[in-house]
Amino acid sequence: MSTRPAAALTHLDWLEAEAIHVLREVAGQCAQPALLFSGGKDSVCLLRLAEKAFRPARFPFPLLHVDTGHNYPEVIAFRDRRAAELGERLIVRSVEDAIGAGKVVLAHPLESRNKYQSITLLDAIAEHGFDACIGGARRDEEKARAKERVFSFRDDLGQWDPKHQRPELWSLYNARIRRGEHIRAFPISNWTELDVWQYIARERLELPSIYFAHRRPVVRRGGALVPVTPLTPARPGERVEERSVRFRTVGDITCTAPVESAAATLEEIVAETAAATQTERGATRLDDQTSDASMEQRKKEGYF
């Protein structure tokens, strides 16, 4: 955290200070928190903020990832390596296990597993007794996320009710809960996608390679570029093209689309993001486009 006079602080310094305050509030108020770490850019920022909040001590929480089994291998390799470099405990729970246990029944083998993450997440929360999960969601990403508090309350079924949130005045956060309930905390809730990229560039944070421009076979479907993979093959009649693309967000292969881009450096990505006219999730998330309320419904069911 910066020690410069307030007048000399940049907007990134203020956002960083707020996020560090939130992380320390979670650590101070909650008995058994966890930090959700997927290997994506937002959770990479959270790790950096946690370092600034708690080093030289270890983090007062483990890292937790709910793996659909359909994530990009570059991201999973980065996740494991980064957790090992930091010397922090990484807990991985798999949607595949929920399928094996009969808790999740897919409509067909290639159905997206993204929406089923909530089942595995709630199981992990119950298994470890987590009373808070720290996530990298931001208000600018999507309408349902814009409604959430920084400390977002979940009932004993893991459900979020946007009409019954707790007041959150100034920087006064309330993590008081009853047994079975928990909190989702979002330290970078007030950040934008551009803030995240500017912070990554300022801190020179390492990211999975798929965030930078690279050539990849894709098809054009529903206004998006869909990567051609064994999980997302080209359909009859679709023309496979090899394009220079990058990912603005990373997640399950079946619902995460790249965008055309030649941005190969952090500075080029910052410039490209500053000029973007479409939101991050609107451009890249096929699962959010099923209806205007799809994300809100999933959050009510216990999604991140």
Does pLDDT of 287 surpass 70?
no
Q: Give yes or no: residues 100 and 159 share one domain.
A: yes
Q: Domain tally for the chain?
A: 2
Please state, in angstroms and as integers, the Cα–Cα distance from residue 128 to each residue in 41, 116, 122, 124, following that order: 26, 19, 10, 6
190 DSSP assignment = T
What is the extent of the structural domain holding 249?
A: 207-289
- Does a structural domain hold residue 48? yes
Q: What is the pLDDT of residue 56?
A: 97
- Does a structural domain hold residue 158? yes
Q: Give yes or no: residues 148 and 68 share one domain.
A: yes
- Does a structural domain hold residue 113? yes
**Average pLDDT, stretch 190-200?**
97
| Residue 17: other Cβ atoms inside 10 A | 15
Q: Give yes or no: residues 16 and 132 share one domain.
A: yes
DSSP element (H, E) containing 86: helix 73-86
Q: What is the pLDDT of residue 255?
A: 87
Does pLDDT of 286 surpass 70?
no
**CATH number of residue 70's parent domain:** 3.40.50.620
Does pLDDT of 281 surpass 90?
no
Higher-confidence position of 251 and 99: 99
Distance CA 88, CA 46 (A): 13
Q: Give yes or no: residues 17 and 156 share one domain.
A: yes
Q: Give yes or no: residues 68 and 188 share one domain.
A: yes
DSSP element (H, E) containing 283: helix 280-284
Amino acid, res. 265: T
Q: What is the pLDDT of residue 111?
A: 84
Quick one: what percent of the chain has pLDDT higher than 70? Answer: 94
Q: What tens digit of pLDDT does each residue of 135-164 get? A: 999 999 887 788 889 999 999 999 998 888
Higher-confidence position of 197 and 166: 197
Q: Give yes or no: residues 25 and 89 share one domain.
A: yes
Distance CA 161, CA 152 (A): 9
Higher-confidence position of 291 and 111: 111
Given pLDDT bands bounded at 50, 70 and 90, which one contains residue 269?
Answer: very high
Lowest mean pLDDT among 4-13, 128-137, 151-160: 4-13
Higher-confidence position of 91 and 114: 91
Q: Give yes or no: residues 52 and 180 share one domain.
A: yes
* Mean of per-residue pLDDT scores for the chain: 91
**Average pLDDT, stretch 175-199?**
96
Given pLDDT bands bounded at 50, 70 and 90, which one contains residue 83?
Answer: very high
Does pLDDT of 41 surpass 60?
yes
Does pLDDT of 282 surpass 70?
no
- Does a structural domain hold residue 1? no
- Does a structural domain hold residue 121? yes
DSSP string, 234-267: PPTTPPPEEEEEE-SS--BGGGB--EE----SHH
| Residue 219: other Cβ atoms inside 10 A | 18
Q: What tens digit of pLDDT does each residue of 205-257 get? A: 999 999 999 999 999 998 889 999 999 999 999 999 999 999 999 888 998 99
Q: Give yes or no: residues 46 and 186 share one domain.
A: yes
Q: What tens digit of pLDDT does each residue of 167-177 get? A: 899 889 999 99
Beta bridge partners of 71: 252
Q: What is the pLDDT of residue 79?
A: 98
